[in-house]
């Protein structure tokens, strides 16, 4: 396992982290025991960074992580969690206000709950699950989090950029107000490498690249019948509903033709692409089995992603917003 600096902190984190949303049962049912054993195996393989959230499995993920940490007797495991806003902005809202989404009383209440659920005295990384660019001037959220830092309840502060809006993090990265930004960065949404990563690198901002497999589409395992196999209440069933699945599959098949001369699978290309930018501290795939961990950890070998392939992939960039029903974004 290769390790990378986490921005301006003194942390060294595994470049492949463990995303816990699938383990919480939001894709398919996973038993708590399976989730805990999967985490422990990930730790044994050198993964030392776990990404969770209060909303994953309605708190279930926190309890799973807590049990895994209690059973682990090895080196430090960094745990990043997230607090969702009181109200999410509309997916098409370009300039939503930040003020009052994370009032002092609410942040304190949610962080206390996270501390109790995770059974820790201090949260390694507290991320706001939704970031609005207005937050660089509407600073009530930051005042509260700074106070919580001084109280020893959180170590580092980060934000999660709304899906397919990497531009929302530009000014925040310039100012260097937070330690990290979590952002979608994969074969379809390549835009963070245009500006955001370079700006953040100058201010020591760490970047966490999420959904490297685009909720499963970039694993290369899809067929025309895959959508019918999604559980009706799952994230994938909702996200790829209607025309979206067929369009995604068509684009996936086009990507497979591009990467075929270079990689054995689309999954390998997807993971290696998300690892390719030096500003990325860690990539966060969701993994629910030892086999998936073994496969992904094997990609942490320091191999460079060919620039010729990066150039060929640019024409396949496809940023879109599947959280809203009436249009796509590009």
What does the pLDDT read at residue 124? 98
Residue 329 has pLDDT above 50, yes or no: no
**Least confidently predicted of 54-58, 64-68, 230-234, 325-329:** 325-329
Domains of the chain: 3-316 (3.20.20.100)
Closest alpha carbon to 172 in 218, 120, 140, 132: 132
Q: What single string gives the DSSP state of each residue in 43-74?
A: HHTT--EEE--TTGGGGHHHHHHHHHHHH--S
Radius of gyration in angstroms for the set of CA atoms belonging to the chain, rounded to a whole number: 19
98-140 per-position pLDDT tens digit: 999 999 999 999 999 999 999 999 999 999 999 999 999 999 9
Nearest-10 crossing angle of helices 60-71, 104-118:
40
Residue % of the chain over a pLDDT of 90: 89
What does the pLDDT read at residue 317? 96
* Contact between 129 and 55 (Cβ < 8 Å): yes
What does the pLDDT read at residue 330? 39
Q: What is the distance between the terminal CA atoms of the chain, rounded to a whole angstrom?
A: 35
What does the pLDDT read at residue 163? 86
28-60 per-position pLDDT tens digit: 889 999 999 999 999 999 999 999 999 998 999
52-109 per-position pLDDT tens digit: 999 998 999 999 999 999 999 999 999 999 999 999 998 888 899 999 999 999 999 9
């Amino acid at each position: 396992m290769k390790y990378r600096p986490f921005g301006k902190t003194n942390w060294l984190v595994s470049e492949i982290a463990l995303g816990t949303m699938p383990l919480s049962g939001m894709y398919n049912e996973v038993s708590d025991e399976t989730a805990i054993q999967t985490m422990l195996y990930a730790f044994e393989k050198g993964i030392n960074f776990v990404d969770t959230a209060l909303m994953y499995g309605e708190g279930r993920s926190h309890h799973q992580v807590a049990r895994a940490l209690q059973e682990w007797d090895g080196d430090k495991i960094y745990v990043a969690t997230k607090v969702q806003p009181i109200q999410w902005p509309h997916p098409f809202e370009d300039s939503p206000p930040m003020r009052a989404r994370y009032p002092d009383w609410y942040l304190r209440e949610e962080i206390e709950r996270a501390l109790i659920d995770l059974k820790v005295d201090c949260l390694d990384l507290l991320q706001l699950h939704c970031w609005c660019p207005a937050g660089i001037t509407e600073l009530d959220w930051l005042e509260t989090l700074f106070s919580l830092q001084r109280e020893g309840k959180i170590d580092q502060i980060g934000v999660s950029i709304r899906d397919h809006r990497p531009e929302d993090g530009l000014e925040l990265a310039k100012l260097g107000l937070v330690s990290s930004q979590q952002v979608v960065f994969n074969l379809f949404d390549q835009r963070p490498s245009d500006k955001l990563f370079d700006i953040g690198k100058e201010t020591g901002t760490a970047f966490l690249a999420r959904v490297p497999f685009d909720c499963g589409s970039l694993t290369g395992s899809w067929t025309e019948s895959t959508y019918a196999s999604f559980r009706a209440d799952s994230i994938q069933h909702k996200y790829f509903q209607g025309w979206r699945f067929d369009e995604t599959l068509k684009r996936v098949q086009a990507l497979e033709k591009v990467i075929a001369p270079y990689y054995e699978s689309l999954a390998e290309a997807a993971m290696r692409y998300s690892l390719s930018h030096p500003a990325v501290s860690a990539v966060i795939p969701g993994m629910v089995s030892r086999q998936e961990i073994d496969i992904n950890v094997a990609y942490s070998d320091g191999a460079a992603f060919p620039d010729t392939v990066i150039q060929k992939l640019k024409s396949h960039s496809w940023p879109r917003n599947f959280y809203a029903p009436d249009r796509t974004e590009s």
